[in-house]
């Protein structure tokens, strides 16, 4: 059985799968893009802008986050996604305001903190402002890569910023009057951005209030993008359009973004909320994932032991190093015994009871 939790941040919604104890099989922890597309499909799957996997750390973090876009591609980072993951961690583990987590991402360690009002404040790290770091073929001018791109006969002045993932910011006079879908789709795959890019059209209402529409790389139009809001403020500051602390209004709602130290981190503050918990039906679970227990059983990682430090997937890559005491075989035997002796109805009941207990505990704690 594969349990999941659905969370959203300003309407940017994600399926979160628990795997911090290393319980996910390879088919889930390193999923096929076609499977991600299927479960993120809003008509034939659960529906979501992406899939978030909470995994054991590989370095010095508390955990590792993998985020897959709705098209199956992997993103380096996602601001709304990491707020949703932090909210999930707080809800699941019962963490109080003031709690923070060092989360490993492809963009480095990102540190969200749970605030007293239930919002999440995230240290997003410093922006990337070199052409190579974003990456883009646009050249730096006044501290930010920028230039003019020709698109469908229009000359668009743009600026590029990296937040661990690439962004292009396009100032416009009126968001309502632009051909959003056409420009967004074209800019995402423009040759100036070799890794493709997220696209943000910016209307400046004042130096302290910016409004953007978002075209996300790999997802298309979305209601919000946290890294995009951060990139937008950085670009607006360097273009002389905004102060170093401003409200960035997205279709799903506002985020507060700060960049007070030109050599320091961008700070993002905004909400994230639980939507529902669920269990995927067997036909939605990858066929080769039934040899391991994949029901969500959130808990703090167990104390390190000699056995836990032995990683079959790495240490036994060529051949089994412990044929008389194979951890993988033991785990598979236990799972097979459980599957053989437990009816599908009983499995569904167990999963439902677990999810019901988690949801009840969340509300008993008065979680916002």
Of the candidates 40, 78, 84, 230, the residue annotated as catalytic is 78
Backbone angles phi, psi at 83, to 5 degrees: -65, -40
The neighbour count for residue 257, using CB atoms within 10 Å, is 28
Q: Give me Rg for the CA atoms of the chain.
A: 22
Q: Which residues contact 316 (CB under 8 A, 6 or more apart)?
A: 322, 328
Residues 145/159, Cβ–Cβ less than 8 Å: yes
* Residue carrying the six token digits 């130096």: 207
- Positive or negative: CA dihedral 286, 292, 298, 300: negative
Q: Which two tokens stand for residue 89?
A: 């961690």
The reply to whether 320 belongs to the active site is no
The closest of 224, 227, 66, 257 to 134, measured between CA atoms, is 227
* Residue carrying the six token digits 């990683």: 311
What does the chain come to in residues?
A: 368
In the chain, % helix, strand, coil (3-state, to 5) comes to 30, 30, 40
Q: How far is CA 31 from the centre of its chain?
A: 15
Residues 110/122, Cβ–Cβ less than 8 Å: yes
The residues facing 75 across adjacent strands are 67
Rounded CA-CA distance 189/185 in Å is 7
The neighbour count for residue 130, using CB atoms within 10 Å, is 13
Rounded CA-CA distance 196/218 in Å is 9
The reply to whether 312 belongs to the active site is no
* Run of H or E residues at 331: helix 327-341
Of the candidates 40, 84, 225, 230, the residue annotated as catalytic is 225
- What is the tally of helices (H) and strands (E) in the chain? 9, 19
Catalytic residue annotation:
78, 225
């Amino acid at each position: 059985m594969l349990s999941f939790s659905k969370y959203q941040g300003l309407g940017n919604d994600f399926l979160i799968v628990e795997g911090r104890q290393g319980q996910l099989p390879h088919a889930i922890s390193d999923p096929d893009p076609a499977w991600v597309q299927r479960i993120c499909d809003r008509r034939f799957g659960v529906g979501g802008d992406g899939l978030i996997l909470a995994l054991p750390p590989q370095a010095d973090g508390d955990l590792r986050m993998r985020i897959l876009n709705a098209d199956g591609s992997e993103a380096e980072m996602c601001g709304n996604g990491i707020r949703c993951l932090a909210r999930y961690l707080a809800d699941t583990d019962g963490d109080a305001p003031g709690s923070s987590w060092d989360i490993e991402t492809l963009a480095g360690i990102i540190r969200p903190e749970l605030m007293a009002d239930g919002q999440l404040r995230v240290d997003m790290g410093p922006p990337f402002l070199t052409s190579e770091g974003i990456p883009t073929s646009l050249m730096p001018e006044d501290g930010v890569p920028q230039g003019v791109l020709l698109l469908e006969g229009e000359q668009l002045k743009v600026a590029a910023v990296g937040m661990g993932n690439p962004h292009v910011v396009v100032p416009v006079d009126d968001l309502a009057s632009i051909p959003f879908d056409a420009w967004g789709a074209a800019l995402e795959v423009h040759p100036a951005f070799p890794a493709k890019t997220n696209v943000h059209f910016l209307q400046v209402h004042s130096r302290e209030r910016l409004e953007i529409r978002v075209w996300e790389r790999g997802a298309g139009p979305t209601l919000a993008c946290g890294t995009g809001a951060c990139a937008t403020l950085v670009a607006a500051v360097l273009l002389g359009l905004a102060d170093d602390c401003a409200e960035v209004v997205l279709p799903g709602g506002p985020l507060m973004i700060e960049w007070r130290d030109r050599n320091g981190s961008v700070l993002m503050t905004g909400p994230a909320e639980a939507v529902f918990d669920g269990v995927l039906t067997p036909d939605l679970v990858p066929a080769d994932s039934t040899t391991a227990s994949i029901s969500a059983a959130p808990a703090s990682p167990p104390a390190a032991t000699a056995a836990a430090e032995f990683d079959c997937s790495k240490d036994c890559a060529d051949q089994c190093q412990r044929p008389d005491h194979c951890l993988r075989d033991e785990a598979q035997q236990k799972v097979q015994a459980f599957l053989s002796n437990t009816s599908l109805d009983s499995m569904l009941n167990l999963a439902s009871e677990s999810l019901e207990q988690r949801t009840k505990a969340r509300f008993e704690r008065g979680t916002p």
